[in-house]
Amino acid sequence: MKSIGIIANPRKPEVKETVQRIINWAEKNKVEFYLGQELTPLIEHKEKAFPRDELPRKAEVIISLGGDGTMLASARAVGKRGNPILGINLKSFGFLTEIAADDLENTLNRILKKDYRVEQRMVLKAQIVDEDESDLYALNDVVIDKGGVARLIQMHLFDNEEFICSYSADGLIVSTPTGSTAYSLASGGPIINPRLNAIIVTPICPHTLASRPIIFLENDRLKVKVESTGERDAVLTADGQVARPVKSGKSVILEKAEHTINLIKFPQKLHWGARPKGE
């Protein structure tokens, strides 16, 4: 590893100290470092600061400091380039950021020694039919909802052009296995091992008890036709961070993206014969 890029949530109180620890480690180990521009008010080395989406072109490994929200933003910045991402948790609740800041230097040393594995995670691609907007990508989920208005919307689900069912609900969550422990789980969806590939469709507050989550094959091509009432459009949101309006009558195509997001994980020791703590 010759270079690292650092993406962080500058609002976290621990960010400044943690970024400085990474810089100190990098200088000691002769590893080049680059910073996301959001860190310029906190850290010197402004000559090392670049927009987030430029960091993957300069750095081999991306370090994400914060919680799951920062990790999702880091994944969006990396996109198709495939740089492995290391998530460092700064006292946040998160499923994606497993490494604590207390273990930072030891973790970086293990990466330097290549004592890690890369876990590929499926990504969703979403496209609004007959619109010129670029595709949206999501590591966790794509949500179609009523946009904060207290009303139901109608959504018709198709799988490879075959009609599946209609929903009258507050919205619809289409998630990856990585996202199965996020909004989908809170809405009654199943938990799926993130190393599997599948597409989970979960209605949000459906108007009928017959509406249940459905799991589709990874290569299925889903279409959701939206029918909303009133003057406001429905809203399409990717990973809770990028949103676009969906006019009534429009359809959204959802399918597995061609690229994956690569997360750095560490081999776990197997404690053969060891009893659980407390027994």
Mean pLDDT of 86-97: 81
Q: How confident is the model at residue 183 (pLDDT cuts 50, 70, 90)?
A: very high
The backbone torsions φ and ψ at residue 234, rounded to the nearest 5 degrees and listed phi first, read -70, 170
Q: Of all helices (H) and strands (E), which one includes residue 138?
A: strand 136-138
The H or E element spanning position 69 is helix 68-78
Give the Cα separation of 264 and 120 in Å (integer).
9
Q: Which CATH superfamily is domain 124-258 in?
A: Probable inorganic polyphosphate/atp-NAD kinase; domain 2 (2.60.200.30)
Which of 19-33, 69-83, 225-239 is predicted least confidently? 225-239
- Angle CA 25–72–224, to nearest 5: 165
Helix (H) or strand (E) holding 185: helix 183-186
* pLDDT value for 278: 54
Residue 271 has pLDDT above 50, yes or no: no
Asked whether residue 270 carries a pLDDT value surpassing 50, the answer given is no
Residue 151: what pLDDT? 76
**pLDDT class for 175, splitting at 50, 70, 90?**
very high
252-261 residue pLDDT tens: 999 999 999 9
Active-site residue identified among 53, 68, 132, 233: 68
Asked if 102 is an active-site residue, the reply is no
- Residue spans of the domains in the chain: they are 3-121, 124-258
Q: What crossing angle do the helices spanning 104-112 and 15-28 adopt, rounded to 10°? A: 40
CATH number of 3-121: 3.40.50.10330
Show Cβ contacts of residue 171 under 8 Å, excluding neighbours closer than 6 positions: 143, 144, 145, 146, 153, 155, 203, 204, 205, 234
